[in-house]
Structures are given as C-alpha cells and as structure tokens.
Structure 1
Amino acid sequence: MSRVTGDPVLSEKTARQSTETGFLADGGQLGAMMSACDWSDSPLGHPRDWSQALKATVGMLLAAQAQIVLFWGPDFVALYNDAYAPGIGANHPRALGRPAIENWGELWDDLEPLLSGVRRTRKTFAAKDRPFYVERHGYGETSYWDVSYSAVRDDDASVGGVLCIVSETTKRVLGETRLRASEARYRELTTTLEQRVAERTAERHLLATIVETTDGQIQALDLDYRWLAINTSCADTYQRIYGKRPQIGDSLHEFLADRPEHLAAATAIWSRALAGEAFTNIDEFGDPRFDRRVYEMKFEALRAPDGTRIGAFLTGVDVTDRLEEQARLAQAEEALRQAQKMEAMGQLTGGVAHDFNNLLTPIVGLLDLFQRKGIGGEREHRLIAGAALAAERAKTLVQRLLAFARRQPLQAIPVNIGLLVAEMGDLISSTTGPQIQVTVDTPEDLPAAMADPNQIEMAILNLSVNARDAMPDGGKLRISAKARTVGDSHNSELAPGTYVCISVADTGIGMDEFTLARAVEPFFSTKGVGRGTGLGLSMVHGLASQLGGALTIRSAVGAGTTVELWLPVSHAVAGAIDAVPQSKLRPQPVGTALLVDDEPLVRMSTAEMLGELGYSVVEAGSAEDALQRVREGLRPNLLVTDHLMPGMSGTDLGLALRNQYPEIQILVVSGYANNEGITPDLSRLTKPFRSDELAASLAGLAKAGR
C-alpha cells in the first residue's frame, strides 16, 4: 500500500528525481501527496517509472477542476484529484495508489462490471443520477452521480485504465425526491379534501360508537366535578353499584351526597386528576347494599385545543374477577407446592422407616430373647424391660412415619364407624382427664366405611390427645361421626361422593395461620421439646390419604380446632372385628427353614428365633444364594425371606420355589411395610417383630396348610 510521508521537505533523492515527476507539479494537494508518497508497495511503482500515457493522464486530471478518478491497470489502481477526494470520505487518502477493491468493496459487485466493460469494449459508459451504495462516512448510504467512464490508451495502444469523470448529484436527487413526494402529498390533499373530511367524520363516528359500546368505563368531569361525558358501560356500572345513573351535567357531589364516605373517596381520587396528575389506580367502589367491585382506572388531564386544562377523564375496567382468579391461582400454586413438599417428605420418611425397621429387628429380637430366657438378675430384668419398652416406642414411631408416608400395612374392611367411636368414649375420657368434658355423638344409621379399625382407633386417640393438650385449663371435646356428601368444590379436594366424616372438635387455644399451614408436616410440633413427636396429625393425614379419604382442619386462635377425618363409604356390610392373634401360638410343624436376608444382623436374630421354634436354619444372603443352595440339594420346609433385596426380590424367590415345591411354606418379611410387589397369596410379616409375632405368623401358615 502507498504511504504518505507527510514531510514537506523533499529529500535529496526526491530532488534528483523531480525532473522525472514534473507532471505532478501544480497538481494541488493530491499532486504534492503523490510526490511525497512511498510507492514501494503500490502495484504502479514509483511515478518516475510510469508510462508516458499514465503520466500525461495523471497530469491532466490533477489540473482539472472536475471530479476525476483514474482506475489504472488490471487491478484498477486508483489515482484521483483534489476535487474527487471529498466524495470518497474516510477512504481518502488510503485509496490513493491502491487497487479499487480494497476501498470500494461495498459496491465492487456493481462497479467492477462497469470498469471491466469499458476496459474490454473501449466504449464510454455514461449515466445520469446513477445510484451507488457507499460506506464512506462509517455507515451505509445510497449516493447518486453523473458519470462518464472512458478507456485510456497506454503507450503500446492497449487500454491502460478507465478515466472516470463524475459529479455527485446526491443532494439534488434527494431534494427532488422530497419535493416530488411533497407535491404528491399536496395534490392528494387538495384533490381528496372532501373525501378526507368524510373519512374523518366517519372515523369520529366510529370512535364515538366504540366508546359508547365498549365494556370499559369511560367518563370525564370538569373542574367543578360535573360530568362532561360518560359512556353507557360506565353509567351501567354506577347503576349496578349505587342503584342510580349519572347524567351529563350532574354534579358528583350531589350524586353521592347521601353517601358521605363514598363521596370522600371519589373526590379524593378525582381531585388528583383534576389537578393535572396522570396516574393509574386500583380500588374498590360501590355500596355493599348493591354491589362492590374492584376497578383499574387510568386518569388523565382533559385539555382544550389551546392546552388549557378543563377537567379530567378516566378509562376503567372491572378487574374483580381477574383478581379473584389470580388469588385462586396463587392458592392452587401454593397447594401444589405443599403437595410436592409432602410427597418428597413422604418418600424420605418411607425410606428412613425401612432402614429403621432393619435396625430395630435384631434389637427387638435380642431383647425379646433376653426376656424369654430371664437372663440376669432383677436389675438386669428392669434394664432389659426398659430397653424393650424403648424399642416398642421406636417401633411405634416408625409406624407413624410409615403412616405419614402412606406405606403402612392396612387391612381395609367395612367398619361400623358409629359403633367404633361410641366404644372409644370411655377410653378417651380416661385419657383426657376430668377437666375435659367429652361428648360422643354418632347416629345409629351411619353407613359403614372402608377402613382399618385398629388404625382408625389409633388416629382418633391421637386427635383426642392433641385436643387435650390444646386445653390445659380444661374445656370441651366433641367426637362425632356423620355421613356427608362431597361436591366438586369441597376444600378437601375429594372426589364427589358420600363419605363418613369423623370430627374431633375442641374448645382449646387454636392455631394461627402459620401453625395451621404446617400442622400435618412430620416432626412439626408446638408442644415443646420432649412433649411430642410431631407425628400425630401427619400420621392421621397419611392414613386418610392411604384409605382414599382426606384430613381437613379448621382452627383459629382462641376459637378451638376441628379436625375431620373423611373415609370412603363401603357398599358392603360391616362385620365383627377379628381379635388380635394370641401371642403364645406356636407353629406345629418343624423341619428345615431357609432364611434369606441381605442384612446379617437381621438374619442372625431371626435365625435365633427360628431355632428356638424348633427349626433347623440354613441362612442365605441373597435370593440367588438361596436358589444355589436348593440346586445343591437343600429341600426346605419353610422359606422366610426379606422382600426388598439387591437382585431378585424375596417375592420372586418365593414364587420360584413354590413352582418347584408346591408344599413349601413361605413367609415374606418386609421392612418397608407396604404391599407393592408382594403377591397377595404370600403371607407377610412386618419388621421389627418379636419371637411370638413370628410364631403367630408361622402358626397361621401351618393352619392354612392344613
């Protein structure tokens, strides 16, 4: 690229060469610039080496007053004069002595064919107001030029370059374009004035029709609070909320004179708008005897054509339904978040309960063994009894966790809830104490409910104890049961139908909104450290959900609490509740027991119990290990297996062995305490268990086998 030295003093070398570059003399700024330029990297080389034709042409264009640029050689190297330089803007002076593509790149697809055509055909190309897209000032624009491109012969008569004599006409073209547009608009205005007046009149009529028929409220008041305008929708709104309609010219003060509080609220907000303030406000208006609604209102000043403020106007819309829907949506979203939280906590507690059951099984079994064998003296007996009691309490705690997680073992049968609640009256009275008056109310014709009677009794007892604790100074506790019909919008979110509702209501201290919102969360308690596990309500909530029902709570501080347990109605007749199996039952047959469990400690305690019951025990740590023992020749009379194990489950193991040996007795032991994946015809026992509970289960197997 050529470089301008900018040094006004010619070097000695330049002076010696001045005679060879005399054609640049009197060439203005561009001539001086060409003389001072370093041409070493230009495709043209130094001016002293140029052909005579090129020197003559450059000398001519430098002296000319017209805008001239010469594109020389196959690379179209640019040489131009002072008049042309402003037309290329920021491209000057870097364009001097450089191929045109480097500085006319944005229009090269347009310019190159023109230059090549002149160079090839030697015919002059001329055009008036020829548009060219250029980026000469750092941004793109369309410029217009009168152009004449002519071929210039070199010394050997070939075409050496293209001489472009141009004149920028951009300002004139754009001016003429604007003038033509202005004249066209003027002609349109003058020739279609009548039509435009008619259209404008129609527009005003259409606008008036829209204002009059829109559902939005539009009204305007003057500075004396008198109506200047009011549309039908707004007048209808006043009729709805106040029982009367304002007219044009009526005074707001007279309209609401019989309602001073409403007048004060209306004038307070209108006074801001009449003072010139523009704002949007959401507020509630209306006489409760008629209707009260919430409106979103946009106030603006009303001005005359000369700008004088003459009043104010508002455009309003009734947002009552929208706000109510937003509130319902927020409530639904909160309910969803609560449900997701409870589901996550249920999964967590279910898993914890499973692990606790596996931990408790060897503890309960060992303490049961110590008690049955009478190990130690009197002091040891008390310690073992205390430890056994603590283990039972831990077992109960795990059962409550499972109840909350909806994974407890339930035996849902048709239950006479009225009889069950009535028979619990004395127990509840003795539990709550003499300071609390207990009332039990159950009708005789109450339909049966599908429930587990033992779990329902525990739930009612839990709710009664909670009620007792909420009445430290005494009070009233009412336990009732009724048949209730649930519709589509019931707050329990139950499916529509008939349910048996067990209600436990107290006159205690009640709960605030925060406590009520967290009441069924596991481990949440307001009783203080050591006075409660926080699992009572959560257990009842999980029980109700597992049975296909629901739990609802109503409470207020100082107004007591009512807890309702909803149970689905049974279409079968309730029968007698089976008695709890006696703990001293022992299995009749003995033989070989195959014991399968992946927990060594559980396996150890269970093996000890089976041994005491007379079985020869073979242990296996997995279902695959147990099957291998059978393939090696083991023929067990009894299979006692854990359900959830790595690899094959205990249920699948039992079914596989039953297919080979139909007479084998099978007992599935589960620490998860749910029926998922366990075949209904397989007997099951829940961890943790004592020796007598294991014996009772095996005795049931033996009885079923006979």
Structure 2
Amino acid sequence: MKSVQHTRSPSDIPTFFSTGGAVCGLLQKMDWSASPLGDPQGWSAGLKAVMTTLLPAQAQIVLFWGPHYAALYNDAYAPSIGHKHPHALGQPAHIHWRELWDDLEPLLRGVRETGQTFSAKNRPFYIERHGLGETVYFDVSYSAVREADDTVGGVLCIVNETTERVRFQRRQAFLLELGQTLPRLGAAERIGDHAARRLAEELGAARVCFGEDLGEGQRVRIAHEWAAETPSILGDHSYASFDPTLYDVLKSGQQVRRNYAEAEPRSPALQGLGGVLHVPVMRADRLEAMLAVHYKQPRLFVEDECLLVEETAKQVWAAITHARAERALHMLNERLEERVADMLAQREASMLQLHEARKMEMIGQLTGGIAHDLNNMLTPIIASLELVRRQSDKERTVRLIDGGLQAAERARNLVGRLLSFARRQTLKPQPVALALLVEDMHELMARSLGPTISLQVRIDPALPAVLVDSHQLELALLNLVINARDAMPEGGKLTIAAGLDGDGPALPEGLVAGKQVWLQVADSGGGMSDEVLGRCIEPFYSTKGVGKGSGLGLPMVQGLAVQSGGGFAICSRVGEGTEATLWLPTSAAGLPSSEPSPVQAPRAQGPIKVLLVDDEALVRQATLLQLRDLGYDVAEADCAARALALVEQGWVPDVLVTDHVMTEMTGVRFAQRLRERMAGLPVLIITGYANLTPRELHGFEVLRKPFRQDELAQSLAHLLAQKG
C-alpha cells in the first residue's frame, strides 16, 4: 500500500466502506491504483457484498480475492498479523505472507479450485509478525466466495488465534510428564541429563545445560548438558565467560534473554549461537542454579516458553536436590546396616528381590575379574617370550617361542571376548566384513537354534566393511539370534541378511544416506503386540518370565549401534514374525590383515626417562625389560606413593607408564596428581580391566593388557610425538 493518502468526497466513498472502524478509514484513503483489485467502485457485486459483511464483523476475518489473492480484512483480524498491518491491505498475499506462502498458498488454491471448505483446529503457521519468526496456532475455516456466475472469486478465511491456549496446554503437558518422569530416574546425574535433552527437543534448542552455582559469586559448574552440533561446555565456568553482567542479573532473580547479530562479538562459550536464554533458580533469595537454553538462530522469546524454562528449572533443581538427599540417606543406611546386626535380615531380603535383575551384572563382574587376572598373567608371558625370541638364534627355539606367542595371542583374544561379554571393555571400532563375521559365527548360531529352526544367510561378500567393535557386534548378533529362537518354540525359519541403505529398510531418522550398511535378523515366530513392541527396548523389560531373560539384550544391541554411529529399529506383527535391524557406518579404511605383518617397534629417540608404576611384580618386571630393550631409561615403583617419592627425590620423568587398577590409588588419579606437578607430562594408562569412559580418562592414552612390545613402543612414540 502506498504511503500517499487520497482524500475522497463523501459521494466517492463506497457504502461498504462506511461501516466504521480503523480499517474502513484506511480503505477510504488508499490509492487503489497500486492494488490488483482496482477502484472499489468497479468491484464486482459479490466482492462488495462480502465486504459489507466482513468489515463490521467482530470475528477475525481475512478475504483473499482474485488470482493474486489480494488481502482484505477487518479490525478484529489486524492484530494477528502484527507489523504486516496496514501494508498488507489490498496487496497480493505472497508479498506480505512470503515466509509462510509455501504453506498457505496450497490451502487457498485448493479452496479456490474445488470450491470446498477447508477447516482445522489449532493449525500451526510460521509467521514473522513481530520482527523474528514464531510458530502460531489458529482455528481456521476457509470458504469459497462465489460471483454471480457461480465462479469462485475469492477465499473467505474466518480464523481464531489459539496460540496462547496451545502453548499453555503444551507447557502443562510437558511439565506434567517431567514431574512424573524425574522421580523415577533416581540418580541426580540422570535427572539433569534427561531434563536437558527433553527441554532441547521441546524448544528446538541447539544446547541446553544445567549449572550449579559454586557459592563464591564467580563460577558455575555445568554438570548436565544436551548439545547438537555445538561444542560441549561441561565443567566449571565463570559467569563472565557467558556475559559480563550475567551473575548480577541472575542474582536479582531475573532472566537474561539476548539475540546476537551474525557479526556481533560474543564469548567463546557462545560462539556459533544466535540466541541465548539464562534462567535463575532461587532459594531464600540466593542464586543456587542456572538453566541455559541456547539457539543457533536469533529467537523471539515468547513469555510462555520463558515460563516453561523457568518452571522446568525449578522442577529439575528440586528433583536433583531430592535425589541427592535420598542418596545421602541411602549411604547412611548402608553404614548403619554394617553396624547393626538386626538389619542384615532386611538387607538380605532386598538382595533377593533384586537377584534376577542383577544376575547378569554379577556374572559380568566375575568374568571381568577373571579376565583381569588372566591379562596380568599373559602380560609377562608375552613380554618374556618376545625378549627371549629377540636373543635366540636357534631355529627350534624360535619355533617353540613362536608357538608360545601364538598361544598367548589366542588367549589374549579369548580374554577380549570375556571382557566384551562382561561389558567391561571400551569399544574398539575397526573395519569388519559382515559376510566373514557371520560365516565365522554360523556353526555357533546353528547349534544355538537347534534342529527345528532353519538358518538362512543372505549377505553379499562384496558389501563395504563396517566400522564397529567386532566382539561387541558378535555378542549383539548372538543376542538377536537367541531372541528369535525363543520366539519360535515350535520351530521355524531365521534369516540373516545385509545390504546398503538404499536397497533395504528405511533409514532411522538422523542417519545420513549412502554411508550405512544394514544387518537384519528376521524370524517367522509369533511376533509382538503393539504394547510389547513399544516397550521391548526398555532396559529390564522382558516377556520371558523370571530366570529366562534379564531384559538387557535389546538395549545392549541398540546401545552398540548408536555408540558406533549407526541406528537400530525393530518391527513386528502378531502371527508374522519380527525383524530387528542394525545400521552400521561404512569404513573408509580397508579390512585388517588376518595375519598382521611384523612391525619394527620404534626405539627411544635419545635419552628418555620413563616412570613405570605397577603393583603386580611380574607385570612390572616384564614391562621394565621391554622398555629397557627399547632403549628407555626406566625407574620403577610398586605403588603411587613410592612413585611420588621418586619424583620428590629428583627423578624427573619424560613420560609416565602406570597400571590403572592398584590398591591405594588408581592410575588415572595418580596421573592427575603428577600432572599437577608436571603440566603436560605424557601419560600411558595400562590396564587389563577397563570400561573407563573418555571423561573418566581425562584425555590419557590407554594400552590394554596383555600387549606386545611393538604396541607398547608405538603408544610411547605416539605420546612423545604429540609432546613435540
């Protein structure tokens, strides 16, 4: 609409413009030569008639007329389009509704072409009416307006904005679900992490994190976070690292809302973000915690969403403090149980109730413990045989030593499988050929299935290799096969197939096409109902009865797929069987050789001092000999305390090699203490029983027992090269 206003004499003003109201006044003064509708005096009788009804109406009504969908509306409708009014009056809709035109135009065209009414309740629309875009909701009814010749001249839209109601209902539903879920999670860590993820999903945020004020008015500890395509900020931060005034504003009980222009400078913690919302959690006028919601793009911070974040922060902090109190009470009860004899009976009863759920965990711990001892025995065996072989020149002796090394290597692989079963081993992804892996397992699977179930394998050997921990994949596949067997008590057919993501089941949401291979286990059993299918991935949920299943098989399979960068899905129909499908990422590297060629172990480059700490004398002595054979200057200690004493006496190591599982202090803890004295000291953790997460390792390099001399040499060379 042009800004120039035209004064008309009363006789020139159409009667349907005289019904009063602000919009009527604007219509009277418009320059209609800039509108595709032309002079109102020349409008059709149908358009004039509908305008006579539309303008004085109290309902929110907009009319889109003609092939250009020129917009005409009344006073009641104007607030719903914000700053688009009054410029949208008389103009083609695609000009001022451009951000939602791809959504709106098909609806209008459908009514115009068919003459049929379109209606919907709480219909979402994305609209820019207050600067930034937002999703709003309307009850809508779009009807055709016909001309005298029965053709459709325009679309009359009667709308009622329900945005506030929808947002209120969604907020209440979210808070209700959160209030029911958080108490069941138990641990404070799980509560904070779950709330951060759910809030990010609800608001479409790039990062949600929950921080606890450290009490000195300077720093906040971020211990719970969910982030997508945004760097993690877990750890301790100063408030000023987010915003210089953040602490003062939060301490006063106010929220901090801010949008950043693309080139506007911001702190490192907020790099790549467009909008941030920080909400305080107060108790007795004291700032106790902060909930931060970060967005990739600038955000219109509507009050209802800000209220949702505020209420969520209160719920989460209350749940976390309650969980901590329960944990403290639980620990106190445990101490009391140890000291009061009459509590032992109650404790035994509780243990019996948890027996089935913990059976697999106990077996895993036992297996892991045995594997740990075996690794400690194998380490000096392998080291000693290697050192003897390097000094022996008799052909028969070399043959015997090679046989001993091969047997030790097989034992090492067996221990790896034990640890994999016990879920006590960090994943070690490597290129795996699915056809070869399934072929190697064929006999084991056939024996597990029994004679009444036929096993068919359809896997092209030419499929690309996948990047996954082969031992964990074997365990996952065996889990699926056993599940299928239990679903076919009368016998049946089991099919294992694989293929590229384009020639099989649809990819799960979030996976990139062209980079995944699917592996499917399908049975002809009785299938699952929708209720069972909906819960079958839940940990500890099992339909097999007491003593026949722990309910951890499918969650472990899903965890392996997701942790490996793939996905997992299961579909089932009653009477038709079940299909369980893993998606695994393809590997850019080639398959490892089945018979690895000998690698020359890199020797020490110059005088390099190694501090070796291990409480197992045999392991320590074997490792000492290996290191000295590689040319390193080694000082040894059987515990962390003696190692610290060596350092205090003047021994300055260039690298630390330490066992992890030691009686007085773990290797990781000892390495951290030594790093406080010697920043940047290269650290190699050796262990035969490790399920440490990257966060628990604090960035230290890990070498699993038992190890070959070349593996030890390569690890040290890599660490020293990084140090430069």
TM-score when normalising by structure 1: 0.40
TM-score when normalising by structure 2: 0.39
**Which of structures 1 and 2 has the bigger CA Rg?**
1
